């Protein structure tokens, strides 16, 4: 045993040397970033470590796929454990970095040796090859997602949640100090991204992409188990469907990876396949119920499956199925939690949104027009399948989930592209299931192929996230910075937090945007205040609330950059003057006197805070 420990230490030292020398050589020879060179060094060290421990330390074969996958998993866990140890010792305990490194040097090698001896290189611990391949495939797809998006700017909604959740964790109160229209689960699901960012010392937006990749990995791996156990899919068909699932949940989300709709789909997928196999399982129902709680509109999806089950069974018994009872229990528990922990959401924000948030809604004709092309493709698939009587249970479940997603999109009434994601994703998965069915070419297969191609083309046409406001503002202020904090006077979320994140600044507002203002202004213009004095007083109080919050935020955070939006959307009047709006408060002149206009672009005015 002593000899084996010495060989273990020697191989570990050699692997570390290979890592360092490779990283230095690669960075010297190629124009790569430090992170890329370190990744090359990690690969070299990993290969050296695996080969050395297999042949020298434990005298095991090199070409065992399950063994290699176990070693890969242990290496990744070791990296995570070392980062966690550093974070706990330095941040939680408050001790020195030297003590953290000492903990890493002692704990990680000791645990690694035991795990290698008893698990990785132990022939009796062989894991099923099918599970190993599925794990590797799902892990590879998660890494591809991370590689594609890691350097891309996050969507403006995500940027707001990253900023606001940071402020919440620092002590601000949700729905009191931070005024948001969506329920609190969105903040809670942002916490893992920030935890990963802190753990690995990366930016918050990189932490977000790591978290989404982990959600994708977990969802796909769970689905692979269901496909193998309950559907009997061969390895080839399973791999094709898993790859298709990643594309189906990723392509429609190119402009908003990690949006609530995409997270909901990932949380729903295992439950969807359990329903397709007519299996009632509590764990997948609980996870799907959490996804449903992200937005009240998402209740349309389990309702759609319930209707399908009632029709197929010709009975109302599915209404009281295990899944529905779980959805009901989780939903009621969530409402109770919000009532107890975040009462301001139920008793303040919900009322505000009823009063003013309708300003962001679009005419129903426009909402339907925006989803008309995907609806036409899905209608073709459904009609062709019904005519040929080829709609199997799995395909039917995915199609009704798509219709539930369409219902959610219509009920929200905003016409935003990311609201379509559940409809498009579940439609694409239904097409994949049809195409994976054996048989000769027939009308339903042709319709599914056309639908899949059309939905994919539509998603690709949408492309990656683009934000013209970010480009315009960044180009205008690039020689005026850097900025610690900024704020935008606007009603549009995309001109605020996303810009701050692109500039490397903090968002200096308790609002994602001035979302109270358009609805209140529009309703005031449409209301006869002589006969409806109470309504007008209520709307003016809402405007005063938003105005006062802007003043408080500027006084509290003292943003270096103040941007004024000259073309805010969602107002009935052609141009809304934010400076005139703020000037209605007597305190504004004193606050605004500390700022000097330094630039103008096509849409924005720019003001810098002057030294005091």
Residue pLDDT, tens place only, 370-394 = 888 888 888 887 777 777 667 788 8
Residue 81 falls within a domain, yes or no?
A: yes
Q: Domain check: are 86 and 189 in the same one? A: no
| Shared domain check, 575 and 452 | no
Q: Which two tokens stand for residue 526?
A: 């449409």
Which backbone phi and psi does 270 adopt, to 5 degrees? Answer: -60, -40
Specify whether 250 is located in the same domain as 297: yes
Q: Is 500 left (phi over 0), alpha (psi -120 to 50) or beta?
A: alpha
Query: Does residue 284 form part of some domain?
Result: yes
Contacts of 380 (CB under 8 A, 6+ apart): 447, 450, 451
Residue 557 in domain: yes
Is the predicted pLDDT of residue 99 greater than 70, yes or no?
no
User: Based on the domain organization, do 92 and 235 belong to the same domain?
Assistant: no
**Of 71, 100, 129, which residue is a domain's last?**
129
240 neighbors 168 (Cβ within 8 angstroms) = no
* 183-212: burial string, b at 16+ Cβ within 10 Å, e else: bbbbbebbebbbebbebbebebbbbbbbbb
Domain membership of residue 508 (yes or no) is: yes
Q: Is the pLDDT of residue 367 over 90?
A: no
Q: In this structure, is residue 134 part of a structural domain?
A: no
- Report the chain's terminal Cα–Cα distance, integer Å: 69
Domain stop point among 105, 129, 153 = 129
The rounded distance, in Å, linking the Cα atoms of 490 and 134 is: 47
Is the pLDDT assigned to residue 562 strictly greater than 90?
A: yes
Angle at 104 between CA 165 and CA 70, to 5 degrees: 85
Decide if 156 is inside a domain: yes
CA–CA gap between residue 60 and residue 123 (Å, rounded): 9
Which is more confidently placed, 604 or 392? 604
CA dihedral 35, 161, 483, 83 (to 10 degrees): -30
Counting the structural domains of the chain, the total is 3
Same domain, 145 and 278: yes
Name the 3-class secondary structure at 53. helix
Residue 344 covered by a domain: yes
In the chain, % of residues over pLDDT 90: 48
Residue 441 and residue 476 in one domain: no
Q: Is the pLDDT of residue 50 over 90?
A: no
pLDDT, tens digit, 9 for 90 and up, residues 221-267:
999 989 988 888 888 888 889 999 999 999 999 888 999 999 999 99
Do the Cβ atoms of 218 and 235 come closer than 8 Å? no
Q: Do 273 and 405 have their domain in common?
A: yes
Same domain, 351 and 210: yes
Please give the Cα distance from 349 to 336 (Å, whole number): 16
If pLDDT is split at 50, 70 and 90, which confidence band does 28 have?
confident
Both 104 and 144 in a single domain? no
| CB contact set of 262 (below 8 Å; sequence gap of 6+) | 212, 249, 252, 253, 256, 418, 421, 425
Q: Which of 71, 97, 129 is the last residue of a domain?
A: 129
Same domain flag for 543 and 597: yes
Q: Write the Ramachandran bin of 415: left for phi over 0, alpha for psi from -120 to 50, otherwise beta.
A: left
Enter the DSSP assignment of 174. Answer: B
Say yes or no to pLDDT of 509 above 80. yes
Give yes or no: residues 449 and 550 share one domain: no
Task: Based on the fold, state whether residues 489 and 414 are members of the same structural domain.
Answer: no
Three-state SS for 274-333 is HHHCCCCCHHHHHHHHHHHCCCHHHHHHHHHHHHHHHHHHCCCHHHHCHHHHHHHHHHHH
How far is residue 374's CA from residue 159's CA, in Å, rounded to a whole number?
28
- Asked if 596 and 610 touch (Cβ cutoff 8 Å), the reply is yes
Token pair recorded at residue 549: 């919050």
Helix (H, G, I), strand (E, B) or coil at 422: helix
Check whether 333 has a pLDDT greater than 60.
yes
**What confidence tens digit (pLDDT) does each residue in 163-221 have?**
999 999 999 999 999 999 999 999 999 999 998 888 888 899 999 999 999 999 999 99
Q: What whole-number distance in Å separates Cα of residue 4 and Cα of residue 583?
A: 77
Cα-based torsion angle of the residue sequence 516, 518, 523, 525 in order, rounded to the nearest 10 degrees: 140
Range of the domain at 109: 2-129
Between 156-169 and 191-200, two packed helices, what is the crossing angle to 10 degrees? 80
Rounded mean pLDDT of the chain? 86
Task: Tell whether 604 is covered by a domain.
Answer: yes
Mean pLDDT of 271-298: 93
């Amino acid at each position: 045993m002593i000899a084996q420990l010495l060989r273990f230490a020697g191989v570990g030292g050699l692997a570390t040397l290979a890592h360092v020398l490779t990283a230095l050589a690669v960075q010297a020879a190629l124009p790569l970033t430090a992170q890329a060179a370190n990744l090359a060094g990690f690969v070299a060290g990993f290969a050296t470590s695996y080969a050395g421990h297999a042949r020298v330390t434990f005298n095991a074969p090199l070409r065992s796929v399950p063994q290699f996958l176990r070693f890969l998993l242990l290496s990744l866990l070791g990296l995570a454990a070392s980062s966690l140890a550093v974070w706990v010792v330095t941040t939680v305990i408050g001790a020195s970095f030297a003590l953290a490194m000492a903990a890493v040097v002692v704990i990680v090698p000791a645990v690694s040796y035991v795990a290698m001896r008893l698990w990785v290189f132990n022939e009796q611990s062989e894991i099923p090859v099918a599970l190993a391949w599925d794990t590797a495939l799902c892990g590879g797809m998660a890494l591809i997602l991370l590689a594609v998006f890691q350097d891309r700017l996050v969507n403006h909604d995500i940027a707001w949640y990253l900023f606001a959740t940071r402020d919440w964790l620092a002590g601000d109160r949700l729905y009191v100090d931070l005024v948001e229209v969506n329920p609190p689960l969105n903040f809670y699901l942002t916490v893992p991204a920030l935890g990963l960012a802190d753990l690995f010392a990366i930016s918050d937006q990189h932490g977000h992409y790591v978290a989404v990749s982990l959600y994708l990995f977990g969802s796909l791996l769970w689905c692979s188990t269901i496909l193998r156990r309950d559907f009997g899919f061969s390895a080839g068909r399973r791999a094709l469907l898993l790859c298709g699932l990643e594309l189906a949940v990723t392509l429609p989300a190119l402009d908003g990876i990690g949006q609530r709709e995409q997270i909901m789909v990932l949380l729903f997928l295992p439950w969807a396949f359990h329903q397709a196999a007519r299996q009632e399982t509590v764990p997948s129902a609980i996870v799907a119920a959490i996804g449903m709680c992200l937005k009240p509109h998402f209740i349309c999806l389990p309702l759609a499956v319930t209707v399908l089950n009632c029709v197929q069974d010709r009975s109302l018994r599915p209404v009281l199925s295990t899944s529905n009872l779980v959805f009901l229990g989780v939903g009621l528990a969530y409402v109770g939690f919000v009532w107890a922990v975040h009462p301001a959401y139920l008793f303040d924000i919900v009322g505000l949104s009823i009063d003013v948030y309708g300003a962001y809604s679009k005419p129903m004709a426009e909402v339907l027009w925006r989803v008309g092309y995907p609806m036409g493709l899905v209608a073709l698939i459904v009609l062709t399948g019904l005519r040929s009587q080829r709609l199997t249970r799995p395909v039917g479940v995915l199609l009704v989930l798509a219709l539930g997603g369409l219902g959610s999109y219509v009920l929200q009434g905003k016409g935003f592209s990311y609201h379509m994601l559940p409809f498009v994703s579940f439609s694409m998965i239904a097409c994949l299931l049809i195409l994976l069915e054996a048989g000769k070419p027939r009308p339903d297969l042709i319709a599914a192929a056309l639908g899949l191609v059309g939905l994919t083309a539509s998603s690709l046409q949408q492309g990656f996230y683009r934000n013209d406001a970010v480009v315009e503002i960044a180009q205008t202020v690039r020689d005026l910075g850097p900025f610690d904090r900024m704020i935008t006077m606007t009603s549009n979320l995309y001109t605020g937090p996303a810009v701050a994140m692109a500039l490397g600044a903090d968002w200096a507002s308790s609002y994602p945007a001035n979302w109270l203002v358009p609805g209140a202004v529009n309703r005031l213009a449409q209301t006869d205040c002589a006969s409806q004095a109470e309504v007008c007083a209520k709307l003016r109080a809402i405007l005063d609330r938003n105005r006062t919050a802007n003043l408080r935020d500027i006084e509290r955070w003292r943003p270096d950059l103040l941007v004024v939006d000259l073309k805010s959307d969602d107002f009935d009047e052609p141009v809304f003057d934010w400076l005139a709006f703020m000037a209605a408060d007597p305190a504004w002149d004193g606050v605004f006197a500390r700022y000097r206009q330094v630039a103008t672009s096509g849409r924005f005015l720019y003001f810098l805070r002057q030294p005091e």
